[in-house]
Structure 1
Amino acid sequence: MRYKKTLTAAGTAALTLTVLTGGGAAADVDTRARTITGALTDGSDYLIEVPSDWNGTLLLYSHGYTSRPDNPAQDVSNEEVGKALLADGYALAGSSFPGPGWQTPAALGSQIATIDQFAEQVGAPRRVIAWGHSMGGEITTLLAERAGDRIDGAVAMCPDTAGVVPWFNSYLDGAFTMRALLDPDGTVPLVGAEDPAAAADYWAALARTAQQTSEGRARLALAASFATLPPWSDLGTDEPGRHDYEAQQINQFHSFVSVFAGFQTLVRADMEAAAGGPFSWNIGVNYRELYADLGSGPKAEVAALYREAGLDLGDDLDALESAPRVAPSDPQAIDAMNAYAPTGELQVPLLTVHTTGDNLVFPNLEAAYADRVRANHEGALLRQTYTAAPGHCNFTTSEQIAAIETMDRRLSAGVWPSTSPAAMTERAAETGTDTSNYLHYRASDMPRPELRP
């Protein structure tokens, strides 16, 4: 059954790591743009830019996760994209949200209030397209489900569309495997760490030590398969060959010592504080069955590295079965997180864009969301696209503008234009900015897509 939730501004009102928070305003780039700034009642700042030849469409931007104490309002992903969108006649708007860290619950109200400010100070837009990156993509997806009376379409880039709970259960499964096989006597907690910074150092050091031996590399590959770390994530590198398992594992190792260590600990701690407690668990998980259900690519890498190391994979899977588990100790925290998990009950068209090598917000989160959308019979409102690139939100300018243009055409025509890689690439080429790498890609299913134990 489809239903509508109406958002109002009033009603939804220390990791050194920034996850695509954007590059701020484009006002210094296009002097024709009228710039408006101010503060919202929830403490957020807002930023609005309107070109002199405004086409009537407002692009409402939601920025990504940041732990920096400074938290300026952002209305676009970066300066180059902002310059191009203003030149095309789009108005830009966005808010800072009330603070740093995980801000999804509060950000929904902040963004609705920003639309209200735009209407009051500029005029009612002909249409509103919400868009955003990373956490901003999660916010954008929720706006597409809950604010159909305020926005007309949405473009979510590298978003968590499955919900924080299954996403961070993937982090837990990777960390659980590492500790059980590489440091079975270790005492660093998998959830609820009292010293998240020390825990982050622990996971990075554990990965570095393991990387020095063939046995350790094999076990890191197994942990990566459960965490769903992609085999290509190192910026500035070519994609490893299908059977180049050594290069694939090196990419995953670099993920372990960087974004994985930080998100499993510091970002998890921030989210646990927001939810009121730990929200991840692995009680009842059969890791032998989980491994059997993985795609052929991860299993081929793991099998090859286990053979090279002379290890018995069955023995290690048995060790995982007997290792101490994390119980779902705080059902209220799980419920608090799930209150902001996308449901698939779309009210407006949604286009998602994801890099295939995203080692932070994993591409297979998209597969879980597609299942929910189909279950709600809203498949006609969703299109999912992918670009061939390593890392998180690593999009070119032309790829981002092509996605915006695709949604604009969908809203003008009432039907989707083609979102095939060829069509998206052609649309990107029309921007005349840089290269595009859209491709045919099917996201693998999540090992654990469930929202509750």
Structure 2
Amino acid sequence: MASVGLLAVPLFLALLGGCAHRVAEPPLMPPEEAPQARACPSGMPADTRCLGGQDSAGAFYLIAIPADWQGELVLHSHGGPLLGAPTMKRVEEDLQRWSIMPRAGYAWAGSSFRQGGVAVRAAAEDTERLRRIFVQHVARPKLTLLHGQSWGASVAAKAAEMYTTGKPYDGLLLSSGVLAGGTRSYDFRLDLRVVYQQLCNNHPRPDEPPYPLWRGLPAGSTLNQAELARRVNDCLALDKPAAQRSAEQTRKIRTITEVIKIPERNILGHLNWATFHFQDIAEQRSGGASVFGNIGAQYRGSDDDRALNAAVLRYAADPAAVARFGADTDPNGRIPVPVLAVHGIHDPIAFVELQHSFGATMARAGRADALVQTYSEDHEHSYLSDASYVALLEALKAWLREGRKPTPAAVAQGCERAQARFPSRCRFRPADPPPPLETRVTPRQRP
């Protein structure tokens, strides 16, 4: 749609008839410039107003306000994280993926975050800065719901823990969340690196300088994703149909999928994260010390577990590095508002067992009653369905406004009702809480 002048935005909001009003909120952060009107990405409802800009910390952001807005804001913390410099393109893609929010009548605001990499507290600061931009320059919402997706769920949880004065967020929706903290959520990727290296011996190759695999890559490495994919396919032939693989390649794939408990289709993706994100953690977040270790881990599921465990590389985590990384990435559960979570039972990226860890974290903080966890019969990670998110948001609002704490059955019924407006699949199912993360990821000694 065409851009609109910024001066049109206050008039538009005034026409909402009291749904929201402009108000100056004394900022604890430095004042921010007003967002500028801009064309909305494709997929937005007709007459949606979009604003955007770059905040004082360098993060790009977008705001989308549907024509029928009733004063409810969804503040979005995206997944990933991506590496490299922030871009507006990333935020546009987020708004397109989550267009269900403005299509369902919510204003939506999302930030690129000011930096790439695994920096949770900084991303939480960027999220809160965007909320204040909205309040300072657009309107004070009647309701502010903080939505975190995947890694962004840890960002949302951290933001809710960090910013409690006045309860700037009314409630949290955490979808497919990486919620066991950085010190536990990524252990299996070190396991993948050591098992893959034992099987394939090409990451690094024998003719390359060795380095500890928890580093991801050595400093100065020029290896990129295309080269990593080539090496993986040289060893495992993931780019070929199963019938065209050798018996040895088939055996190696089976070993990885059984020992690490990830589907074949996700091996390369997890190796990418265990390479480039691990490099970011080692170089930017841990002071060059090891956050991850596998001392004491006993891998099971191969043709010869004794031989595998005797042969894989072993590393000890550095206690100071773990503590430093945990302070940035691990939730503490002290979230003063209701939290509604959803997770696909067969999620191959963020294991559903992470929900067990988050539930235990909330319980230790005395906030177990503030958490409701729901589950869907999904094998995907990045998006469930339009009707699912509408039902979750409606359930969260009913909890906040009417005190009706959601049940998985009620959310499932809400999804069926939402299908009338947003035809899509509903896969919610009543489920027992998932087992501990240690039943999915090999236990190990910890500092």
Give the structure 2 partner of residue 436 of structure 1: 426
Q: Deviation of residue 42 (structure 1)?
A: 0.4
Task: Confirm or deny that 1:55 pairs with 2:70.
Answer: yes
Aligned partners of 1:451, 1:379: CA distance in 2, in Å?
A: 28
Give the structure 2 partner of residue 232 of structure 1: none
Unaligned runs of 5+ in 1: 1-6, 11-23, 230-251, 292-301
Are 1:141 and 1:350, in contact at CA under 8 Å, matched by a contact in 2? no
CA distances 1:129-157 after superposition (whole Å, capped 9, x unpaired): 00032222221122233333210101111
TM-score by length of structure 2 reads 0.76
Q: Which moved more, 1:338-347 or 1:442-451?
A: 442-451
Are 1:162 and 1:366, in contact at CA under 8 Å, matched by a contact in 2? yes
Give the AA of the match of 2:136: E
Aligned partners of 2:444, 2:308: CA distance in 1, in Å?
A: 24
Aligned partners of 1:374, 1:430: CA distance in 2, in Å?
A: 37
Q: Deviation of residue 56 (structure 1)?
A: 1.9
Give the structure 2 partner of residue 273 of structure 1: 283
CA distances 1:293-328 after superposition (whole Å, capped 9, x unpaired): xxxxxxxxx4xxx6xxxx4x4xx2354046441122
Are 1:169 and 1:281, in contact at CA under 8 Å, matched by a contact in 2? yes
Task: Confirm or deny that 1:426 pairs with 2:416.
Answer: yes
Q: Deviation of residue 385 (structure 1)?
A: 1.8
Q: Deviation of residue 426 (structure 1)?
A: 2.5
Aligned partners of 1:102, 1:9: CA distance in 2, in Å?
A: 23
CA 1:101–1:260: 2 relative to 1, 3 Å: same
Give the structure 2 partner of residue 227 of structure 1: 260
CA distances 1:37-80 after superposition (whole Å, capped 9, x unpaired): 23211011222222343222111011222347562163884537
Aligned partners of 2:377, 2:176: CA distance in 1, in Å?
A: 13
TM-score by length of structure 1 reads 0.75
Aligned partners of 2:379, 2:43: CA distance in 1, in Å?
A: 30
Are 2:59 and 2:86, in contact at CA under 8 Å, matched by a contact in 1? no
Task: Confirm or deny that 1:121 pairs with 2:137.
Answer: yes
Aligned partners of 1:29, 1:120: CA distance in 2, in Å?
A: 24
Task: Confirm or deny that 1:347 pairs with 2:345.
Answer: no
Q: Deviation of residue 222 (structure 1)?
A: 4.5
Give the AA of the match of 1:348: V
Are 2:297 and 2:445, in contact at CA under 8 Å, matched by a contact in 1? no
Aligned length: 387
Are 1:167 and 1:365, in contact at CA under 8 Å, matched by a contact in 2? yes
Are 1:203 and 1:261, in contact at CA under 8 Å, matched by a contact in 2? no
Task: Confirm or deny that 1:190 pairs with 2:213.
Answer: yes
Give the structure 1 partner of residue 45 of structure 2: 30
Matching of residues 234-383 of structure 1 within 5 Å:
252-256=263-267, 258-275=268-285, 276-287=287-298, 291=300, 302=301, 311=303, 313=304, 316-321=305-310, 323-328=312-317, 330-339=318-327, 340-383=329-372
Q: Which moved more, 1:153-162 or 1:437-446?
A: 437-446
1 or 2 for the larger relative contact order (CA 8 Å, sep ≥6)?
1
CA distances 1:257-280 after superposition (whole Å, capped 9, x unpaired): x21221111122123233133544
Aligned partners of 1:407, 1:424: CA distance in 2, in Å?
A: 11
Are 2:294 and 2:444, in contact at CA under 8 Å, matched by a contact in 1? no
Give the AA of the match of 1:268: F
Give the AA of the match of 1:264: A
Unaligned runs of 5+ in 2: 1-26, 31-38
Q: Deviation of residue 368 (structure 1)?
A: 1.3
Q: Deviation of residue 331 (structure 1)?
A: 3.8
Are 1:104 and 1:138, in contact at CA under 8 Å, matched by a contact in 2? yes
Q: Secondary structure at the match of 2:372?
A: strand
Are 2:84 and 2:115, in contact at CA under 8 Å, matched by a contact in 1? no
Give the AA of the match of 2:277: V
Aligned partners of 2:104, 2:113: CA distance in 1, in Å?
A: 27
Are 1:61 and 1:75, in contact at CA under 8 Å, matched by a contact in 2? no
CA 1:173–1:91: 2 relative to 1, 3 Å: same
Are 1:81 and 1:401, in contact at CA under 8 Å, matched by a contact in 2? no
Q: Which moved more, 1:197-206 or 1:416-425?
A: 197-206
Aligned partners of 2:395, 2:42: CA distance in 1, in Å?
A: 25
Aligned partners of 1:334, 1:425: CA distance in 2, in Å?
A: 40
Q: Which of the residues 379, 387, 391 maps onto 2:376?
A: 387
Aligned partners of 1:452, 1:424: CA distance in 2, in Å?
A: 42
Give the structure 2 partner of residue 21 of structure 1: none
CA distances 1:86-141 after superposition (whole Å, capped 9, x unpaired): 34432111222113333423211111111111111222212210003222222112
CA 1:433–1:146: 2 relative to 1, 3 Å: farther
Task: Confirm or deny that 1:445 pairs with 2:436.
Answer: yes
Task: Confirm or deny that 1:173 pairs with 2:187.
Answer: no
Are 2:356 and 2:434, in contact at CA under 8 Å, matched by a contact in 1? yes
Aligned partners of 2:367, 2:229: CA distance in 1, in Å?
A: 40
Aligned partners of 2:145, 2:444: CA distance in 1, in Å?
A: 30
Are 2:332 and 2:362, in contact at CA under 8 Å, matched by a contact in 1? yes
Task: Confirm or deny that 1:163 pairs with 2:181.
Answer: yes
CA distances 1:315-366 after superposition (whole Å, capped 9, x unpaired): x2354046441122x4443223201211222221111222233222222211
Aligned partners of 1:27, 1:207: CA distance in 2, in Å?
A: 39
Are 2:347 and 2:381, in contact at CA under 8 Å, matched by a contact in 1? yes
Give the structure 2 partner of residue 4 of structure 1: none
Q: Deviation of residue 201 (structure 1)?
A: 4.9
Q: Which of the residues 103, 106, 109 maps onto 2:125?
A: 109
Are 2:111 and 2:130, in contact at CA under 8 Å, matched by a contact in 1? yes
Q: Secondary structure at the match of 2:436?
A: coil
